[in-house]
């Protein structure tokens, strides 16, 4: 057993309290007991140094975020997070880095009562992959493909702050010091909308998490649902951090095209609006209606400001993100 | 959507025929239906260029092997392989490479009736991670930790050939041309022992797949079971390729310490020997008894040749492997 195998033992010290974990870290595979009459949801996401983050990103944030982005995928399907596996490729063994990284990972895993049940640690360029498994009652998964013309379009919270945090971290934009913590927290410590995802079971017609930017991600729903949409830019939820930092058009550009917000974007048939209000009445969840699904060119999104058509002065690239840029 | 997202569509073209896949590639997560009264087994393994393979390895072999090593972990637990996800980090998009890689992956996935249900493709240094999910009847998982003194130790087939293949590919050893295909096939296209793993449910006391070398992997069983072992070197199954290529002591060194064979090593209580014979009677599976679990120093393996103690002339490093070497 080499130094890298020993790291698995390092992660295994943190024992989960989930009673459905029959065998955890330390065998050929983990053994878990799925709930009866439930379906399993599986999501996997990778983050690579120099592509999705850089060497200045705190390791605690990396541990949080690689778990969060996967749990967010489960949330977008309406699932309850259950089990995670971690494939960790490291250039060297650094105890301090591992302490911080694992603290970030376990904080969010514990918050959602989700167990790390296995993994593989290898030597190589810094690469993080988590595979997350969630569960939901049979037939209740929310796909991207069932939005219909007339359905209302919602987002679960402020858009653009993570993109602003990235711009600040890369010294492309300056924010007032009172906004600094918020924009960095949104970039580094996103909180997936798990409770909302579960509240949407059986009522939302489609759902996606906003990882590539609203236009790109809503575009996925529309393409897979064979529909178009109108989005009211005057309804987009924007934080004070965003509106006090950027010119109005730039703020909208961040809200519509920067990624990494991990809010949910979902579509809701008219007849389920009351049901949504009821389900979230006594929670802190405040989704905002930003437009409507319409017929027409598959995937096309028309922007409106009040009753008027609205266009960016300069062309924008949906889903543009410095770290995803392949040029 | 960038070029790397398009690759997901490339993999999605290959549709599985499994009826328990409710939603496959192309949504936030895959949705699958676990079998009633079954447990889920989850395994994950990563291969990194320059660490686990080099640039001369055929991409078809990489696709095969990253699936095979994960399916082998499921086999070692006694599980039936069901669903795979693939996290693929690529330095560039190369159609020919992807065609070959995916052909290798789907060949083995289809062979075991296992569906690729999701993935993530990112840009970066070539890194392959598969997470495999299998299923087995509740309570039937075979762990590493329940071997007892008196249990017999078996391996499922020839040891050392993959290590020989690696040595040949690195031009450290020459083999006769009649052995070349065999040693390369064992290195690049290992076939996990899925049928045997399932035959061992309820009768084997412990099981592991031989990925790091027999001494290292059997050592894991013994440590987790708090036992020691005697292994008869005169009983080790060795191929003609190995014995005709290497001096006797070198052949044993490969068989005991080189990794990547993906045979199963398992322990069987005396009273289940007949049951094993019965279960495999009409199959091509021919496991070989190579020794016995004994009491004594936890993890200690004593080698014997017939009735005599046996030792290597030179000290060996258990689990030594050029590509896993961290020095």
Rounded to whole angstroms, how far apart are CA atoms A113 and A108?
Answer: 8
Per-residue pLDDT at B164:
97
Per-residue pLDDT at B97:
94
A20 touches chain B (CB under 8 A): no
Q: Which of B83, B282, B76 is nearest to B193 (CA)?
A: B76
Please give the class, per CATH, of domain A3-137: alpha beta
Per-residue pLDDT at A233:
97
A152-317 fold: Phosphoribosyl-aminoimidazole Synthetase; Chain A, domain 2 (3.90.650)
pLDDT digits (tens, 9 = 90+) for A132-183: 999 999 999 999 999 999 999 999 999 999 999 999 999 999 999 999 999 9
Per-residue pLDDT at B313:
81
Supply the mean pLDDT for chain A.
Answer: 93
Long-range contacts of A241-245 (CB under 8 A, 24+ apart): A241/A161, A241/A164, A241/A175, A241/A179, A241/A182, A241/A183, A242/A158, A242/A160, A242/A161, A242/A164, A244/A176, A244/A179, A245/A164, A245/A173, A245/A174, A245/A175, A245/A176, A245/A179
Rounded to whole angstroms, how far apart are CA atoms B184 and B56?
Answer: 12
B327, pLDDT greater than 90: no
Residue B115 pairs in a beta bridge with B83
The confidence band for A125, taking pLDDT boundaries of 50, 70 and 90, is: very high
- Written as six digits, the tokens of A113 are 């009562």
- Comparison of pLDDT for A147 and A14, the residue scoring more: A147
Per-residue pLDDT at B120:
94
Q: How many helices (H) and strands (E) does chain A have?
A: 10, 13
Residue B21 pairs in a beta bridge with B32
DSSP of A56-125: TS-HHHHHHHHHHHHHHHHHHHTPEEEEEEEEEEESS--HHHHHHHHHHHHHHHHHTT-EEEEEEEEESS
The 3-state DSSP class for residue B266 equals strand
Per-residue pLDDT at A322:
40
Rounded to whole angstroms, how far apart are CA atoms B103 and B95?
Answer: 12
Per-residue pLDDT at A17:
79
From chain B residues 224-243, the ones with a CB under 8 A of any chain A CB are 224
Given the DSSP bridges, would you call strands B288-294 and B152-155 parallel, antiparallel or unpaired? Answer: antiparallel
Rounded to whole angstroms, how far apart are CA atoms A210 and A190?
Answer: 11
Cβ neighbourhood burial of B15 (10 Å; 0-12, 13-18, 19+): exposed
With an 8 Å Cβ cutoff, are A129 and B46 in contact?
A: yes
Per-residue pLDDT at A325:
40
- Comparison of pLDDT for B317 and A223, the residue scoring more: A223
Radius of gyration over every alpha carbon of chain A, rounded to an integer in angstroms: 20
- Written as six digits, the tokens of A123 are 């030597």
Closest-CA residue of chain A to B138: A33
Q: Which of A49, A260, A235, A230 is nearest to B124 (CA)?
A: A49
Angle value at C-alpha A122, between A119 and A123, nearest 5 degrees: 160
Per-residue pLDDT at B319:
55
- Written as six digits, the tokens of A302 are 């028309």
Per-residue pLDDT at A319:
55
Rounded to whole angstroms, how far apart are CA atoms B29 and A127?
Answer: 21
A2 touches chain B (CB under 8 A): yes
Rounded to whole angstroms, how far apart are CA atoms A129 and A87?
Answer: 5
* Out of A32, A47, A77, closest to residue B28 by CB: A77
Query: How close is the nearest chain B Cα to the Cα of A235, in Å?
Result: 25
Give the rounded percent of residues in chain B with a pLDDT score beyond 70: 94
Query: How close is the nearest chain B Cα to the Cα of A244, in Å?
Result: 30
pLDDT digits (tens, 9 = 90+) for B248-263: 999 999 999 999 999 9
B39, pLDDT greater than 60: yes
Rounded to whole angstroms, how far apart are CA atoms A293 and B212?
Answer: 55
pLDDT digits (tens, 9 = 90+) for A72-111: 999 999 999 999 999 999 999 998 999 999 999 999 999 9
Angle between helices A3-12 and A95-111 (to 10 degrees): 30
Per-residue pLDDT at A321:
46
Given the DSSP bridges, would you call strands A127-137 and A80-90 parallel, antiparallel or unpaired? Answer: antiparallel
Angle value at C-alpha B21, between B15 and B27, nearest 5 degrees: 80
B18, pLDDT greater than 60: yes
Q: Are A75 and A209 in contact (CB under 8 A)?
A: yes
Average pLDDT in the A192-213 region? 97
Query: How close is the nearest chain A Cα to the Cα of B232, in Å?
Result: 23
- Written as six digits, the tokens of A25 are 């870290």
Long-range contacts of A54-60 (CB under 8 A, 24+ apart): A56/A169, A57/A188, A58/A100, A58/A104, A58/A188, A59/A97, A59/A98, A59/A100, A59/A101, A59/A104, A60/A100, A60/A101, A60/A103, A60/A104
A257 touches chain B (CB under 8 A): no
Per-residue pLDDT at B321:
46
Order of strands, sheet of B288-294, starting from the edge strand that comes earlier in the sequence: B206-209, B264-268, B152-155, B288-294, B228-232, B301-305, B308-309
Q: Which of A57, A32, A59 is nearest to A116 (CA)?
A: A32
- Written as six digits, the tokens of A315 are 């062309």
B2, pLDDT greater than 70: no
The confidence band for B14, taking pLDDT boundaries of 50, 70 and 90, is: confident
With an 8 Å Cβ cutoff, are B27 and A131 in contact?
A: no
Per-residue pLDDT at B317:
59
CATH superfamily entry for domain B152-324:
PurM-like C-terminal domain (3.90.650.10)
The confidence band for B283, taking pLDDT boundaries of 50, 70 and 90, is: confident
Distances (CA, A) of A45 to A70, A96, A129, B54: 6, 24, 6, 25
- Least confident residue range of A213-222, A308-317, B56-65: A308-317
Q: Are B257 and B318 in contact (CB under 8 A)?
A: yes
Per-residue pLDDT at B181:
96
A1, pLDDT greater than 70: no
Per-residue pLDDT at B316:
63
Rounded to whole angstroms, how far apart are CA atoms A105 and A64?
Answer: 5
Residue B154 pairs in a beta bridge with B266, B289
A52, pLDDT greater than 70: yes
A37, pLDDT greater than 80: yes
Query: How close is the nearest chain A Cα to the Cα of B179, in Å?
Result: 30
pLDDT digits (tens, 9 = 90+) for B178-216: 999 999 999 999 999 999 999 999 999 999 999 999 999
Order of strands, sheet of A288-294, starting from the edge strand that comes earlier in the sequence: A206-209, A264-268, A152-155, A288-294, A228-232, A301-305, A308-309
A87 touches chain B (CB under 8 A): yes
Q: Are A29 and B136 in contact (CB under 8 A)?
A: no
Average pLDDT in the B292-314 region? 93
To test the contact with chain A by mutation, choose from B4, B18, B31 the residue with the greatest count of A C-beta atoms within 10 A, namely B31
Residue B205 is labelled as binding a ligand:
no
Residue ranges covered by each domain of chain B: 3-137, 152-324
Per-residue pLDDT at B312:
86
From chain B residues 258-317, the ones with a CB under 8 A of any chain A CB are none
Supply the mean pLDDT for chain B.
Answer: 93
Q: Are A86 and A8 in contact (CB under 8 A)?
A: no
With an 8 Å Cβ cutoff, are B44 and A87 in contact?
A: yes
With an 8 Å Cβ cutoff, are B43 and A29 in contact?
A: yes
With an 8 Å Cβ cutoff, are B48 and A124 in contact?
A: yes
pLDDT digits (tens, 9 = 90+) for A225-267: 999 999 999 999 999 999 999 999 999 999 999 999 999 999 9
To test the contact with chain B by mutation, choose from A7, A16, A23, A27 the residue with the greatest count of B C-beta atoms within 10 A, namely A27
The confidence band for B286, taking pLDDT boundaries of 50, 70 and 90, is: very high
């Amino acid at each position: 057993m080499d130094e890298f195998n020993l790291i698995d033992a390092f992660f295994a010290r943190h024992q989960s309290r989930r009673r459905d974990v029959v065998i955890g870290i330390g065998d050929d595979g983990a053994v878990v007991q799925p709930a009866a009459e439930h379906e399993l949801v599986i999501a996997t996401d990778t983050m690579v140094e120099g592509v999705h983050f850089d060497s200045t990103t705190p390791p605690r944030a990396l541990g949080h975020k690689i778990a969060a982005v996967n749990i967010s995928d489960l949330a977008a399907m309406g699932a309850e997070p259950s089990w995670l596996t971690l494939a960790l490729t490291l250039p060297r063994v650094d105890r301090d880095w591992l302490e911080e990284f694992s603290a970030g990972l376990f904080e969010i895993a514990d918050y959602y009562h989700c167990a790390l049940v296995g993994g593989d640690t290898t030597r190589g360029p810094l690469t993080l992959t988590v595979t997350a498994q969630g569960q939901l009652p049979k037939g209740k998964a929310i796909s991207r493909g069932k939005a219909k013309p007339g359905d209302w379009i919602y987002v679960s919270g402020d858009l653009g702050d993570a993109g602003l945090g990235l711009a600040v971290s890369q010294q492309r934009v300056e924010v007032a010091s009172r906004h600094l913590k918020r924009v960095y927290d949104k970039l580094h410590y996103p909180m997936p909308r798990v409770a909302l995802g579960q509240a949407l079971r059986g009522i939302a017609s489609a759902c996606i998490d906003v990882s590539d930017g609203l236009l790109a991600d809503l575009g996925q729903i529309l393409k897979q649902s064979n529909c178009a949409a109108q989005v009211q830019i005057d309804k987009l939820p924007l934080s004070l951090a965003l509106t006090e930092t950027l010119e109005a058009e730039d703020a909208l550009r961040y809200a519509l095209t920067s990624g990494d917000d991990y809010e949910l974007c979902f579509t809701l048939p008219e007849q389920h609006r009351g049901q949504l209000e009821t389900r979230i009445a006594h929670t802190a969840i405040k989704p905002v209606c930003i437009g409507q699904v319409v017929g027409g060119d598959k995937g096309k999104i028309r922007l409106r400001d009040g009753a008027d058509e609205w266009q960016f002065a300069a062309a924008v690239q949906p889903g543009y993100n410095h770290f995803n840029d392949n040029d």
